[in-house]
Amino acid sequence: MRHGKLTPPALRRYGFIVSFLIAPLLLYIVFFVSPNLQAIQLAFTNSRGISPTFEYVGFENFTKLFDDEVFWAAVRHHGVILLAMPLVSLLIALFFSFLLNLGGGQRNGRMAGVWGSGFYKVVFFFPQVLAVAIVGVLFQAILRPDKDGILNSALGLIGIDPVGWLIDPNLALWTIIGVAVWQAVGFYVVLFSAGMASVPKEIFEAAALDGAGRFIMFFRVTIPLIWNTVQVGWVYLGIAAFDCFALVQVLSVDRGGPDNATTVLPLEIWRQAFTYYKFGYSSAMGVALVFLVLTFAALTLRVTRRERIEY
């Protein structure tokens, strides 16, 4: 670049970069930006999706949300999931990652994981290979409310009567959260293992030589060093907590039951659009969901921000 002007080599270089960005950008606009803009437009209409004609009704659909008991029940369920699933998943994943990478202590002067850690990483990651619908079908068999259910059959061996894991309104949501945790943990074990592998082993070895036990090594050394990775995992799991559509669709009684005890916003959006053909109202719910997700992500990144540790 000379005197603020791009030279021919620079132009060719930037042209080469731009040529690779055009196609992804077009795909992003066509398949993400455009549908979202159309959804925002529909949220201000009474569209029923089966007719090309509709009327603009202003904020009427958003006003209805405030009086919709099912909508607020779904929001409360997301609140419960948002508190439970990320916290439990991250704690379990961090604990397993620590064991698989540092839990074996020093071997030959180097920090190592427990015996067979490579095999365990594959085992933990296995649920991620399965589609969510398949996971739901598997747990339908495990959680059947009668004595033929795998879990109830095992409990029957010690004299416990069958439990209605998915038909009891007080248990159904917590059961689905448990399944979501089971599926999520493996991915974050691998993610945190990668974060720990990026930290120089000498830091952990120095802490061990200074007498740091496993408790101190975990909370005072490991977590601060991989905090950025933990922060990313928290945001990802929080966004996942606002979804859960497939698991609730497959596992719950009557799609969100019993008595709306497990309903979530994506399921209600689908129901309003494709069962009641209220596409305008469904789009308003979608806009509300996007607002909740963006608010959560922004607050999480703000609250969990810490000074970066250089090593």
pTM, rounded to two decimals: 0.83
Tally the domains of the chain: 1
- What is the chain's pLDDT, residue by residue, as a tens digit (311 residues)? 445 565 666 666 677 777 778 888 899 899 888 888 888 888 998 888 777 777 888 899 999 998 889 999 999 999 999 999 999 999 999 888 888 877 666 666 566 667 777 788 778 888 888 888 888 889 988 998 888 888 989 988 888 888 889 999 999 999 999 999 999 898 898 888 888 888 777 777 777 777 777 777 777 778 888 888 888 888 888 888 888 888 898 888 888 888 889 999 999 999 988 888 888 999 999 999 988 888 888 888 787 776 665 55
- The answer to whether residue 245 sits within a structural domain is yes
Residue 11, in any domain of the structure: no
Q: What is the gyration radius of the CA atoms in the chain, in angstroms?
A: 25
Q: Which domain holds residue 71?
A: 62-303
Identify whether 309 is part of a domain: no
Query: DSSP string of 252-276?
Result: SBTTTBSTTSS--HHHHHHHHHHTS
114: in domain:
yes
**Which residue reads 């061996």 in tokens?**
157
Backbone angles phi, psi at 84, to 5 degrees: -90, -55
Tokens at 92, concatenated: 């379990």
pLDDT tens for 239-260 read 888 888 888 988 888 888 888 8
Q: Any idea what the CATH number is for the domain that residue 214 is in?
A: 1.10.3720.10
The answer to the question of residue 47 being in a domain is: no
Does a structural domain hold residue 9?
no
Residue 51 lies in a domain: no
Report yes or no on 7 lying in a domain.
Answer: no
